[in-house]
Structures are given as structure tokens and as C-alpha cells.
Structure 1
Amino acid sequence: MLPYPQIDPVAVQIGPLKVHWYGLMYVIGFLGAWFLARRRAQRHDWRNEAIDDLIFYGALGVVLGGRIGYMLFYNFPVLLHDPWSFFRVWEGGMSFHGGLLGVLAAMGWFAHKHRRSFFEVTDFLAPLVPIGLFFGRLGNFINGELWGKVTDLPWGMVFPTGGPLPRHPSQLYEAILEGLVLFTVLWIYSAKPRPQMAVSGLFLLLYGAFRFLVEFIREPDAHIGYLAFGWLTMGQLLSTPMILAGLLLLAFAYRRPSPATARE
């Protein structure tokens, strides 16, 4: 068993003002995406001003979509009972799938504003997203939340809110798969010209598959539990359309390659 590092979730406190590590992880993720986007822009016909807009709209989509998605997918009864709970973000609660929908909406607006095709924008953005996912999962780990099921494996950890038994550090599994592995695959794959939609499709397929698999060892939300079959979680239910959409986009991209391929 590995000891869980007791990290104070509050990184900095000045009087009543508290800066949490979880919030800092979001900031670091956005800055990392912005830096890599600037690098990618050198190989594309993208101006720096467009990159700044892209990250700004993406950040709005992540935060608003993530919060809305969490309240609708995971906490809807509480929202109905107490609508003001939506605004109490300091209590936690963000959904990746909601954030994804928010980003897609934001990218649609960005594409319209900058007169680019939707998939040109998402193909450019997809390899940057795992950076934010990596740091977001580290934030979950520091908070001691979203831990996995009980395990006797030597790297199991006892989390402060997870009872006395060691559990899978599923946040770290997701940080590695959804963050490091997904970033590496997409960055290398997108380094050469690909049919339009292919990079976006690969992102959806791999993220959905990674999340679906990790959910088998991640403890489901206590107030939701399993949705069906004694194993299907909300995360798996929401990831299934991503896997199917990724396969469809890849099939369509390579069956009918667009003449406007990504220039890497």
C-alpha cells in the first residue's frame, strides 16, 4: 500500500481569500493549451489573435458546460430542490462530458466568427485538450475525491474520505490515460496531414474508451450508483456516444477524405 500524500487542497490563503489547487490546475491546463496552441499555429494558417480567442472561448465552454453538465447529469435532484446550488461552485462539481458539450458549442461560435469550418477548429484543438484533462485529474487527486474501488494491489491508497481500506487511485489512472497517453497519441498522429474530422474522431474514440475502462474500477457516485446490469455507471453511459461518434468520424474521414486536410 502507498501512503496518500496529505496535500492541503488550499494552495494559498490570504485572509478570507482561498486559492485551491483544483482551481490552479484549471489555470495551468489553460495556459498549457495556450502555449501548445501557439506552437501549432506556426504550422497552420492561424494568427496569434485567433489562438487567444480559441483558448478564451474554450475556457468558457469548459467552465460553463462542465458546471451545467454536472448539475444535470449527476446532481439534478439537488438542482431542482435548490436552484441556487448551481452557483455554489466552491462546493465542487464539474463534468467532463458537460464541459465537452460546452466546448463544442464554443468552437461552433468561434468557427463562425473566424470563418473556419467546425472540424478544422476541433481538429486543431483536440490534441490540446488532454493537457487540461491531466491537470484536472491531478486536482481531483489532491482533493482526495473520485477515488476507485477497494483493492489489495500494492499501489492502493487510503483516501481521507474513502474509508479505512486502500483504494485504486483512479484519478491517477485517468491522468495517465486521458492526459499523457491521449496527448502523446494525438500529438504524434496530428503531426502529419490527416483527413478533416480524423483527429477529432480519434480524440472522441480514445477518450471514450479510456474513460469507459477506468469506470470499472472507479467507485460510482454514491447518490447515483450503478444504472444497469450491476456495473454500468453514468460515466460509461455518457462515454458510449463518444466512442460511437469517434468511430463514425474516423470512418467518414477516411472513406471520403476532405480536400482540406490539416496542415501539420
Structure 2
Amino acid sequence: MQIPPRVLTVAGSDSGGGAGIQADLKTMLALGTHGMSVLTAVTAQNSRGVQGAWPLPAEAVRAQFRSVVDDIGVQAVKTGMLASAELVETVAELLTGVGAPVVVDPVGVSKHGDPLLAASALDALRLKLLPLATVATPNLDETAWLTGVHVTSEADLRRAADAVLAFGPRWVLIKGGHLPGDAVDLLTDGTSEHLLRAPRHDNRHTHGTGCTLASAIACGLAKGLSVPDAVGAAKKYVTGAIAAGFPLGEGIGPVDHGWALR
């Protein structure tokens, strides 16, 4: 019996099902991998925003991680919402020596502008987690928060990427989705560059885009793809998911994680 590639997400729960752990596991299933989870926080969240967030104790995060990794093993790890400096440090400690590719989505703020990471965790994210990343996937707001570099045009993407690479990830994907025009992302390891361009879809229902993309990259890496190939495949998947995003509730609906299955 063939065992699918195993991918672990370390992230928070989105009770509305569009982002976080829920989006990660849906993506992993859609892309033919076995998804596993370490829950870092519980949020009360819907299409209108985040109404509350409660981080889990570090000991609970550590126990979940050891339970999965020591018995089942992992072929790629994706991190998302980590909530606090203590949890960032805990996860960084756990990832040291795990021996699998790590995709770090440095989640700081929700789609609606709600904070998902304490300001005090910034140094831990920069100095302890980013150096462990095979790929870091900040959007433009997260890039500015991490580095102070504000991207206002496609020409600024390389400068922003260099600033993130200075913290030690092997590759960085600067997501330019907030720029006008086509959705343009820059992937680079400081030597080679890959510009990924996709048409912008006129669809406001984009909740979960960042979680979905990072998880899709982790799936590609778990299957043995190179970083550029994994990111390219993930970009295609999330572009389709955005195009198929649907209204849910009164606010911003989710991307459609199952679009490729139909």
C-alpha cells in the first residue's frame, strides 16, 4: 500500500474554515498528501474578521509536535500563526534538526487587519525561526513589518527579498499580490531569481490565500520537487483557488481549496 507524502502544519485554527489549520489540511488533501497538524492557537473567526484568539500553552504545542514527528515522521513542515514569542521560540526549537524542508509563512495580521502575532515576537521570528526556513513566504505587509522595506512597485521586490534573506532563510518568496496589475511574486535565494506572474481575478473572496500557498509549497517539497518547481506548482494551484473563491457569510469568503478536484 502506497503511503502519501506526509506534511505537517503548525498553525492556528480558523473557526470559519477559510484559513489556518483548516485551509492547510484542505490544501494537503487536494494535493495528494497526508496532512497532520500542531495547533498553536484557537481563534473565533468568520468572514467579517477575528473576534478572539487564544494561544495554546507551549507544552501543548511541544507534545503535539513530538507525538507526530516521533511516530509518523514528516517530509515537509509549514508554519503559520504562532501567536506569541514563547510559541515562536518553542517551534523554532522543535524544528531544529527535524530534517525536513520548512516553509515559514510569517503570519502577523489577518486578511481583515486583525493582529495574529504579538509585537514582542518579532525578534524571535527574525532571529530564531526565519534562519530555519527552506522558504519564507511574506506578503508585502509582513515584509515591511519584518524589514522596514515598503514595496510600492515591482521594482522594489528584489530589495525586499534581499532584506528578508539577511535573516537566513534559504529562499524567500515575496508575494506581490497587493500591488496593482498582475499578481507578481519574486522567488529568490539571492543568486537565482524567478518571477511568477498570474492574471488578477476580479474576486474579493480571497480569505486563506497565504496559508493555502504556503501549504501547497510544502506539499510540493514533500513530493521531492525543487523549491522553484514547488513554488511554481503552488502558484498555479492558489491562482485557481482564488478564481473559484466563493461568498460565505457577510464579509470576505474563502478561496476554493477543492477546485482542482472538480
Select the structure of larger CA radius of gyration.
1
Scaled by the length of structure 2, the TM-score of the pair is 0.28
Scaled by the length of structure 1, the TM-score of the pair is 0.28
Say which structure is richer in strand: 2
Say which structure is richer in helix: 1
